[in-house]
A and B are shown apart, each in its own frame.
Chain A
């Protein structure tokens, strides 16, 4: 029995670590949560205040005069980049998974999917490097001008195309980073379906594509939803790659897809140094409030994703 208790102690560490992270963050961010109130999400100015003045008291907290913290531009950037990334990643991941599981021999499919899933293993910062030295020059010289000219009648796709650092570039990089989650989960789910289903479909006169999309895929809706949620969560919390290609906009709402943006995760890295200049510490605590929000978002998206995928496992076992 002592051995089981010892192992249980180690297992207990996982919930404890997560609890400690949440408690520390909320505790640390509390003055900022109190000072910023609910407007935090809807205000679009991040201003750490006049650093040359003396601290003042406002709403019972010590802050620098003029200090105001709002992250609407971050919310817009985070949601915008993640949603556009999902818009690309969903069809790409779905198509690739269908093709890998139903159209090519299994050996070949196995090899290629290993290769595609390696995308998930490439570090965020390497994606960022590739984005800066290859993708951004390529897009801003050859793709975005054409895109802006072709779709000049669609408000969000018209000029100015800017420098290449921005919303669409971030989304494209994010898309490559999250696609493996969708492809890998869906391919495994499709392959786990019985051969009889395929044979029954073929014998009814359906083409292989119809078997894949009308018979196999509908059974995997939950897996697909779970994987998509997981990918969305990843996109929302991705830091380094976005930091490097987003243009790090401050207090600026994107007005087209080429606009520079910043996301909540990238903003924490980008602003911690200057937030540390605030002698009252309110700026760092407001960054902690962003971290709290990120934590809550990741708990929700991953919780839903795992429940969906978990439901599926009980269903198939």
Chain B
């Protein structure tokens, strides 16, 4: 090119600029279409589940047990609360402790390994966990279909989520706070219980809530560990199958009866509504947290 060092660079022709502008506009249009398509699908699913569920909603569903393919959902609502509730307690106790280790003392080999493996455990298909739960808890330990088998399987499923979210929440706490606590003469456990856990509580709570939402929506790990029962739970940890809402959705939508479909719709409505609520609550918790960096 015969361009002297002092000359201004050649201006691109206006046709070239127009071509690029049009290409960009088309690009944005396609990208926007992708977003619109996803949003429409999302709205469609939510509206469908909500309208169908709301339509079939009746007060008696909350006070009656399931009878065959009709009746109510009291046993399933109670069962989902029990399974997810006990699983989340179990998993939070272990998960928060493990998350604490990772964030505070986890620079070594054990920390790296645990971090990597909990990320891997998140990706293990839930049916694999369910199958292992079935082989070990239901059959090998002879617990049969039971609350304990279902809850432990769910707890394993939630564990990596809680570990990682706890670690992230604790890492957001400024290190000056830790240093001041240690400088005041606090021991490890005092720093953790009196300072860190309080400062990171919104973040840790959010992680636990989201794990709860995930577990409440799971079906595959429970099919062969919790089983199904037409009765409300009567207090046995083992040897007694438990009902849960997601089973109703899966099993009753395949039955050729209107009453069964109505129960499936209501169960889907209840589960989706609860998960939506938990997600909104989690958002709110993050936004209102004083240490949030958003």
| Stretch from B24-32, B172-180, B228-236 at the A interface | B24-32
Q: Total A-B pairs in contact (CB under 8 Å)? A: 251
- Residue total for A at the interface (Cβ-Cβ under 8 A): 83
Binds B, one of A36-44, A55-63, A230-238, A252-260: A230-238
- Pairwise interchain contact A14-B159, C-beta atoms closer than 8 A: yes
Interface class of chain A by DSSP: helix
B residues less than 8 Å from A4 (CB atoms): 101, 105, 188
| CB-contact partner of A306 in B97, B119, B272, under 8 A | B119
Of the candidates B34, B49, B97, B121, the one whose C-beta lies within 8 Å of that of A130 is: B49
Q: How many residues of B contact A (CB 8 A)?
A: 86
Contact A126 B49 (CB under 8 A): yes
A87 contacts chain B at the CB level, 8 A cutoff: no
Please judge, given known A-B contacts A99-B34, A116-B38, whether A239 and B110 are in contact too, CB under 8 Å: no
Q: Are B94 and A13 in contact (CB under 8 A)?
A: yes
- Residues of B18-46 at the interface with A, using a CB-CB cut-off of 8 Å, are 20-21, 23-25, 27-28, 30-35, 37-39, 41-42, 44-45
Within the assembled complex, what's the spacing in Å between the Cα atoms of A21 and B188? Answer: 33
A3-37 contact mask (Cβ, 8 Å, vs B): 1 or 0: 11011101111110110010011001000000000
Of the listed stretches A46-54, A65-73, A143-151, A202-210, chain B binds A202-210
A218 within 8 A of B: no
In the assembled complex, which residues on chain B have CB atoms less than 8 Å from the CB atom of A268? 127, 131
- Are B111 and A11 in touch, CB under 8 angstroms? yes
Binds A, one of B58-66, B199-207, B216-224: B216-224
Do residues A15 and B264 form an inter-chain contact, with CB atoms below 8 A? no
Tell me which residues across on chain A come within 8 A of B35, comparing CB atoms. Answer: 95-96, 99-100, 112, 116
Among residues of B, the one whose C-beta sits closest to the C-beta of A176 is B41
B152-167 interface code vs A (CB 8 A; 1 in, 0 out): 0000100110010000
Q: Is there contact, CB below 8 Å, between B122 and A302?
A: yes
**Which of A7, A21, A118, A129 contacts B124, CB < 8 Å?**
A21
Is A96 a contact of B220 with CB atoms below 8 Å? Answer: no
Q: Is B98 touching A126 in the complex (CB atoms < 8 A)?
A: no
Min Cβ gap B124→A in Å is 5
Closest chain-B Cβ to A1's Cβ sits at a distance in Å of 8
Query: Nearest 9 pairs between A and B by C-beta?
Result: A237-B125, A123-B217, A95-B34, A209-B24, A302-B123, A10-B97, A7-B101, A95-B31, A11-B101
A positions within 8 Å CB-CB of B: 1, 3-4, 6-8, 10-15, 17-18, 21, 24-25, 28, 91-96, 98-100, 103, 112, 114-116, 118-119, 121-130, 132-134, 176, 179, 183, 205, 207-210, 213, 230, 233-234, 236-240, 243-244, 265, 268-269, 272, 287-288, 291, 294-295, 298-299, 301-303, 305-306, 310
Residues of B in contact with A (beta carbons under 8 Å apart): 12, 20-21, 23-25, 27-28, 30-35, 37-39, 41-42, 44-45, 48-49, 52, 94, 97-98, 100-102, 104-106, 110-111, 113-114, 116-129, 131-132, 134-136, 156, 159-160, 163, 187-189, 192, 213-214, 216-220, 223-224, 246, 249-250, 253, 264-265, 268, 271-272, 275-276, 279, 283
14 further contact pairs, Cβ within 8 A, besides A94-B34, A125-B219, A129-B49: A14-B117, A15-B117, A21-B132, A119-B45, A121-B217, A122-B45, A123-B217, A129-B265, A132-B253, A134-B44, A209-B28, A240-B220, A268-B127, A298-B124
